[in-house]
Structure formats: structure tokens, C-alpha cells
Amino acid sequence: MPAEKKQMIFSSPKKSGSPASQVSSPPWKVLIVDDEPIIHSVTELVLRDFKFENRSLKLLSAYSGREAKRILEDEDDLAVALVDVVMEEDDSGLKLIQWIREVLNNHSIRLILRTGQPGVAPEKDIIHRYEINDYKEKTELTDIKLLTSLTVAIRGYRDLLDIQRNQSGFVRILEGAGKFWQYNNECLLLDEILRQFSRLFTKKGTGEGRCDCCALIYKTGELLVNSGTGTYEEAKGKRLSELDEGEVSRIIEQYNHREAFFYKKPYLVCSLETRQESNMYLFMRSDIQLDKTNQNILGAFLVNSSLAMDYWLVTAHKTRSQKNMLIFLSEVIEHHFMENGNHVKRVSEMMYLISTRMGIPREKAELWKMASILHDMGKIGIPDHILKKPGKLSSEEFEIMKTHAVIGYKLLSTNKDEFFPDAADIALSHHEKWNGNGYPNGVAGEAIPLPARILSVIDVFDALTHKRVYKDAWSVEKAVNYIRENRAVDFDPQVVDSFLDILPELQRMVNEYPD
């Protein structure tokens, strides 16, 4: 595991012995509305053995229009109502039907009007005015006709419900699809896919959908929880084996990518199979009815999710290649003036850590991380005798050195794509100071772009704690004290505070990229 990759096929579970076929279906709910108790008794007698698609009936009784309204407000999945016209008033049934359609706004329930006084309710007028699905006089409603009318009504309700569910499911998929393309981080994208997956078979606009779901990634020989809802909400980063979910692991082994999804009550396992990977799963623990409609919706959702994940993987590969090229270019520049290339790696990682600590969204922090790699791009325009000078620069030489900020800005500002505008700002302003005594433009405070203010702290800290041709390395303690002393002088106070808050994490990261 993961299994050899196969073409994505959305097939339903096998009919023979299928777990989906073993799920007991709830009965069809039918409301009888009539003020004559004998009508209720006869109707119940005729329908006692009625079944449609292997589902029996659940009969509910109301003896007035007011009583029927209460039941209709409590039961939102009634399939059919058999409604008498004359009850408390001569038109009680008609008023009830009008209320169902116009006030309750229920257009799914099938309405069969029954009357013992046909002269009171002309058939043609009623059907057109009140959206009635069938009309019968009580004298003609024999047991066969009642069974036939009810079969036709339930079939219509089922078909209408399937259409509504399909429409709702696909609308939900389309509405959620736009969110998939907003992420440039694998974990964030999987989080969004899981959020939509957990709500896929719940009613839109309700508080439902917090079922037990998780997104799983197969890494280093084990299934890891990327994110979860319900009982798995706190399981992020844990191994599936830690959660005592042996049954889930066995199901995934049994499933093994033969189909796009596999349901063994109460477990639904789905694959997010892409052209690049086949080691991602969505898992749900729920007593859903995985009928044909839900299978169609689930299949479309998985196709859409897999395409989004596939696009991200391709984009991520491109981004990694682009980042590696930028690091390589920056290392060439650093080595050219005899500094160690890991400086740019450390700077970029610290940029991300401090940015996220300050509340910058991870997507933007990723862009700043890339942009920071090019902060010293302008040094390619500085003469070697200045770049490589082992001692202190003269005032004239320092003025030339300072031009690297403007040179870098001019080089990077010609490109308006992705992170280049931020890279240009960083290159220009990372030597500006909070009090306005920096260069090249002497701007102060929040007029300095925030990523440049962050890089100012990072660049100084890294330069102080590592050996250069013109200086020995300082201790971390001495460098940190220097940054503290220059808080609100050279450096943005909030950036310094964030830097100090995560100093241990920054030091661990620095140790990963030693000179």
C-alpha cells in the first residue's frame, strides 16, 4: 500500500452481498387528513401490507386542518397526504393545501384530495388552483384505486426528491469548487475538501454535517490524519493506528483503490486519486443511504476534488522547482561575495515563521517566503572589490554598497507576477529603519512595507550570528540583545516581539541549515 495506480472508475458496490443493499430503508410517511374516524380505519386496513421499493408505510393521522398543520410542521419528509375537503369548514382541506404550498412552501409532498361532496369542490378548478396531484371521490376510491393512486404518488415523490437531491448536491459541488482553487498549500486544500465532504449528504442551511470524518494521507508506511471533524477533530497529525481504528485500516486494505469509493456500514472510504499520487483518502463514519443519487453526487465530488488536488500537485512541483532555482541563483550571488548560501534558506524559513506568527495568512506568508530569497539580488551590480573586501568599507565604498537596494528593486519590479512585487519591495526597503535613519529613501515606521520590516530583523539576526569575511560570528544571546536594544529604533516593535516569541523555534530551524 498504496496500491498500483489504476484508472479512476466510479462504480457502485456489488449488488450481491453489497453493504449498501443491506441498509434498512425508512418507511414512506403518509398523512391521512379526515374528520371521519372510519376513513382512517379503512385506509389503514387497505394499506397495512403496502410496500414500494421494499419500503413499508408509516401512517400518520390528523382529524382536522389545524391538527394536520402541526404534523406537517414537525415532519418535513412526508411523501403523501390524503386530504379530505370538508372538515371543520366546507373548504378546510382546500385551505390546508393552499397553506402547504404557499406558507409552508412544501412542493415535494404529493397531495391526493378525497371528497364525499364533489359538488363542493369541482375537480378541474381545484387541480389548477391548488397544485393537487390527484383527486378522487370517496365513493370511487376502492382498495385497488387507492393502492394505485398511492403508488403513483410515492413514485412521483421519490423522483422529485431524487431530482432535488441531485440538483442540490451538484449546486453544492459547484459552489464549493471555486474554493478549491484558492489554496496553494496541500494541507489547506485537504482541509477544504474534507469540510465539503462532511456536509455532502446533509441538508443545506442546517447545522448538520459535523459527522465523524477525516482526511488521511499515506506517508512513511502509515496512514496519518491530515484533518478531521467530529471525533477526529483533535486527531490532526496522529497515526490512524493510534486512534484504535483497526476496522478502518482493514477496510482500506480491503478497498485498495479498486473503486473510487467503498461503503461498508457505517464506514465510507473514498480515494483522492490523481495522476501524481494515490495515497490520499477521505473517510466518513455515518449511516448514510448510499443510493444511486448519492453515488452520483459522491462520484462527481471526488472527480472535482481529485482534479483540484492534481492541479495543486502540478503547481506545487512547479513552485518547488521555481523556489529551488531562486535559491540556486541567490546562492550563486552569496558565494560570489564569499558568504555562505544557506543564508537565503534560513532567511526564507524565518520569514514564513514570523509572518504566520504575526497573523499573516499562510498563502501570503508563502509568497513572502519566496520573495525574501531575492532580497540581495541587487548585489550583482556591486563591484567585486567592494563585495569581497575583508575589512570595513570606506564611506565612499559604503555609498556604492547601498545602491544594491535600488538595483535589486529595478531588476525585480519589472515582473508583476506572483511574489515579484513583494520581492521588489523587500529588496528596496529591507535596510530602512523604524526611526527613518535607514537607506535608500529614509522612510520610517509603517511606511516601510511589512515584509521588508520582517526581513530587516531576520537579516540582521542571521548576519550577526554567522561568520562573514569582515566579521566573526556573534553569540545568539548577544545578537538577541542587540535586536531588543534596537526595538522601536531600527526595528518594528511588533516584528521584534513576534521574533522573540518564537525564538526557540527559529533557532531550531537555523540549526537545520548550518554554514
From the list 297, 265, 261, 304, the residue with the least C-alpha distance to 282 is 261
Matching residue, cell 474534507: 194
Mean pLDDT of 126-136: 76
Q: Name the phi and psi angles at 475, rounded to 5.
A: -70, 155
Collapsing DSSP states into helix, strand and coil, what is residue 204?
Answer: coil
Residue 182's pLDDT is: 53
Q: Name the phi and psi angles at 186, rounded to 5.
A: -60, -45
Calpha distance 469→22 (Å, rounded): 76
Residue 9's pLDDT is: 31
Task: Read off the pLDDT of residues 192-207 as tens digits, 9 standing for 90 and up.
Answer: 788 888 777 765 433 4
Provide the pLDDT confidence category of residue 320 given band limits of 50, 70 and 90. low
- Say if CB 31 and CB 23 are below 8 A apart: no
Residue 247's pLDDT is: 67
* Burial annotation 315-335 (CB, 10 A radius, 16+ → b, else e): eeeebeeebeebbeebbebbe
Provide the pLDDT confidence category of residue 40 given band limits of 50, 70 and 90. very high
Task: Read off the pLDDT of residues 403-422 as tens digits, 9 standing for 90 and up.
Answer: 999 999 998 898 887 788 99
Residue 77 has pLDDT above 50, yes or no: yes
**Beta 267-271 vs 28-33: how paired, if at all?**
unpaired
Provide the pLDDT confidence category of residue 315 given band limits of 50, 70 and 90. low
For residues 15 and 478, which has the higher predicted lDDT (pLDDT)? 478
From the list 175, 199, 193, 172, the residue with the least C-alpha distance to 311 is 193
Residue 207's pLDDT is: 40
For residues 178 and 68, which has the higher predicted lDDT (pLDDT)? 68
Residue 76 has pLDDT above 90, yes or no: no
Residue 11 has pLDDT above 50, yes or no: no
The sheet with strand 261-264 has its strands ordered as: 222-229, 212-219, 280-285, 267-271, 261-264
**Cell numbers at 56, concatenated:** 413499508
Residue 119's pLDDT is: 58
From the list 46, 38, 30, the residue with the least C-alpha distance to 63 is 38
Mean pLDDT of 159-186: 59
Q: Of 265, 379, 402, 410, which residue is the catalytic one? A: 379
Residue 179 has pLDDT above 60, yes or no: no
Residue 176's pLDDT is: 52
**Cell numbers at 183, concatenated:** 489554496
Residue 370 has pLDDT above 60, yes or no: yes
Mean pLDDT of 67-72: 94
**Beta 280-285 vs 267-271: how paired, if at all?**
antiparallel
The beta strand positions in 352-411, using DSSP E, are: none
CB atoms inside a 10 Å sphere around CB 313 = 16
Residue 483 has pLDDT above 60, yes or no: yes
The answer to whether residue 379 is catalytic is: yes
Provide the pLDDT confidence category of residue 400 given band limits of 50, 70 and 90. very high
From the list 454, 512, 505, the residue with the least C-alpha distance to 483 is 454
Residue 6 has pLDDT above 50, yes or no: no
Task: Read off the pLDDT of residues 500-515 as tens digits, 9 standing for 90 and up.
Answer: 999 999 988 888 888 7
For residues 151 and 262, which has the higher predicted lDDT (pLDDT)? 151
Matching residue, cell 520573495: 371
CB atoms inside a 10 Å sphere around CB 57 = 20
Residue 433 has pLDDT above 90, yes or no: yes
Collapsing DSSP states into helix, strand and coil, what is residue 219?
Answer: strand
For residues 195 and 74, which has the higher predicted lDDT (pLDDT)? 74
Task: Read off the pLDDT of residues 234-274 as tens digits, 9 standing for 90 and up.
Answer: 887 788 777 765 666 777 666 665 677 878 778 888 887 76
From the list 301, 296, 497, 458, the residue with the least C-alpha distance to 371 is 458
Residue 444's pLDDT is: 96
Residue 187's pLDDT is: 62
Residue 268's pLDDT is: 84
Provide the pLDDT confidence category of residue 166 given band limits of 50, 70 and 90. low
- Return the minimum-mean-pLDDT range out of 39-53, 102-116, 327-341, 433-447: 327-341
Residue 336 has pLDDT above 60, yes or no: no
Provide the pLDDT confidence category of residue 355 given band limits of 50, 70 and 90. very high
CB atoms inside a 10 Å sphere around CB 116 = 15
Residue 169 has pLDDT above 70, yes or no: no
Mean pLDDT of 435-454: 96
The rounded percent of the chain whose pLDDT value lies above 70 is: 75
Task: Read off the pLDDT of residues 271-310 as tens digits, 9 standing for 90 and up.
Answer: 877 665 557 788 888 777 777 777 777 877 777 777 777 7
Mean pLDDT of 375-396: 86
Residue 472's pLDDT is: 83
Residue 137's pLDDT is: 77
According to the per-residue pLDDT averaged within each range, which of 111-120, 378-387, 476-485 is highest?
A: 476-485
According to the per-residue pLDDT averaged within each range, which of 38-42, 127-131, 321-325, 328-332 is highest?
A: 38-42
Residue 165's pLDDT is: 64
